[in-house]
Amino acid sequence: MRAVSYSKNNQLTLLHRGAEFFPALKRAIDAAHAEIYLEIYIFADDATADVIKSALMRAAQRGVAVYVLVDWLGTGQKSISQLARDFSSAGVNFRTFNPWFHRGFVRTHRKIMVVDRTLAFLGGLNINDDCFSDDGSHVSLPAPRWDFAVAIHGQLVNAIHEAAATQWLGYGLKDIKTRLQNLRRLRSQHAKPALTVAEAGLVVRDNLRNRRTIQRSLLHAIGHAHQSIYLVTPYFAPGRKLRHSLAMAAQRGVKVTLMVGVGQFRLQDAVTQSFYPLLSEAGVELIEYSKTQLHGKVAVVDDEWATVGSSNYDGLSLFVNHEANIVVRDADFANTLRSHIAQGVLEGRVVTANEVANISRVRRALNWLAYLFYKSVLQIITFGSYAK
């Protein structure tokens, strides 16, 4: 596993929900001069996605080298076919990741865009309308999906560019000459007002050298926490180490708050709730968020360490899929993110210790069976690594 490599004096802008993210994304694409890399799990067929698709096509038509990689499972064959037709007509380089599971179960769950090697976006938002459920049902949500991305200027962009380019190269990039020609035309972009942070680093998960990088970065932060830990995830089903690290932090006096999404998948809810007795007994504050679909994968430790990215705290993200997070060591950024989390906590429902203690034996058994099923599937997929 590679250690996290931090760089200094990066300018970060925290973007909350699609209302802040998609306009920033479109402005960046429209300002591109030479090169765009976009790697995404879901590129939907809806009005929001059409705006981004059209911007990418216009960029390619004015001579920008545009490379778009979408996940085959996340995006779906119907949307992929339409994207392939539209992008081909405009000269956008387009590929799908692991179609028909040719490379096993792994998916690219990353959400990355890099423009002209000067600006990057990274986080949890896909290219889809965040007012509708992202599970294919197209059910209208009561409020926009709760999620975050970060716009990044500075040295860290080089690492994110390398990650995106390497992923594309793994799928057979052949037009290196075109890339180099376009890179010679690079001109600096005017940076948006942003927060200059002390230190920031990229952590990725893959199935080669970075199998545990994201999990270990989080375990390190939790293990060194002194005052508070805020962990937010749609799906909570990590391995034993992460579950017990949260419990141990609470037992040594750290205020630990875990906010999870509920109401989307009944099996996932049952798996998450199977961990409630352990966590509640240790003193972890449990918050269930159901105001809308919770999709953010964020954490803040001691108001000085924070992470935003694509990685859920579950078996698929931590042990199977390709993921990308940014980790930040900066009090101002951490406090900004924590204020958003605090608002989410107020909107959520506290699961009290008394409520957990009074879960019926039948419900406990059903939750445990759900976990055993989940664990068995993940053990097969990960060749026994999941429980660790």
Residue 269 a catalytic site member: no
Rounded Cα gap, residues 122 and 303, in angstroms: 21
Q: With CA atoms as reference, report the closest residue to 147 among 172, 170, 122.
A: 122
Q: Which of 33, 53, 71, 116 is catalytic?
A: 116
Q: If you write DSSP's letter for every residue of 222-246 in order, what string do you get?
A: HHT-SSEEEEEES-EE--HHHHHHH
Q: Which residues pair with 322 in a beta bridge?
A: 108
Q: What share of the chain is helix, strand, coil (3-state, %, to 5)?
A: 40, 25, 30
Q: Which of 33, 53, 295, 340 is catalytic?
A: 295
Q: Which of 53, 111, 153, 322 is catalytic?
A: 111
Rounded Cα gap, residues 378 and 372, in angstroms: 10
3-state secondary structure of 219: helix
3-state secondary structure of 139: coil
Residue 297 a catalytic site member: yes
3-state secondary structure of 17: helix
109 within 8 A of 41, measured Cβ to Cβ: yes
Burial label for 188, CB within 10 Å (0-12, 13-18, 19+), is: exposed
3-state secondary structure of 146: strand
3-state secondary structure of 258: strand
Residue 302 a catalytic site member: yes
Q: Which of 16, 33, 53, 109 is catalytic?
A: 109
Q: Which of 53, 161, 297, 340 is catalytic?
A: 297
Q: If you write DSSP's letter for every residue of 27-62 in order, what string do you get?
A: HHHHH-SSEEEEEES-B-SSHHHHHHHHHHHHHHHT
Q: Which of 86, 302, 303, 332 is catalytic?
A: 302
Residue 174 a catalytic site member: no
Residue 224 a catalytic site member: no
Residue 116 a catalytic site member: yes
What positions carry a catalytic annotation?
109, 111, 116, 295, 297, 302
